[in-house]
């Protein structure tokens, strides 16, 4: 059996679906006041924020406290 180093074509997938992903820096917090800073990404802002929430430690209940889509300060209480 011969192995090729060339990647296989993605059947039924368009590369244009990956053209403009949203990447956000996200500040999360839980009711006891603990904070978690992370990165989220997705096709929409909602999916990017959901991605960030899923990256936080599972033992706590987190909420989005703020985010930023560029290199500036976090929105909400995390602004400079």
Which spans in the chain are helix H? 45-55
Does residue 45 lie in a domain region?
Answer: yes
pTM for the model: 0.63
Report yes or no on 26 lying in a domain: yes
* Domain presence at residue 56: yes
Residue numbers of the domain that contains 59:
20-71
Q: Of 75 and 25, which is predicted with more confidence?
A: 25
pLDDT at 16 over 50: no
Number of domains in the chain: 1
Band the pLDDT of 79: cuts 50, 70, 90.
Answer: very low
Give the pLDDT band (50/70/90) at residue 70: low
Does residue 8 form part of some domain? no
Report the alpha-carbon angle 54-42-68, nearest 5.
85
């Amino acid at each position: 059996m011969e192995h090729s180093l060339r990647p296989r074509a993605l059947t039924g997938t368009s590369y244009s679906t990956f053209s403009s992903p949203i990447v956000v820096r996200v500040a999360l917090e839980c009711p006891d006041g603990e904070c978690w800073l992370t990165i989220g990404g997705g096709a929409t802002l909602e999916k990017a924020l959901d991605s960030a929430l899923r990256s936080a430690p599972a033992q706590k209940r987190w909420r989005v406290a703020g985010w930023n889509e560029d290199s500036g300060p976090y929105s909400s209480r995390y602004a400079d």
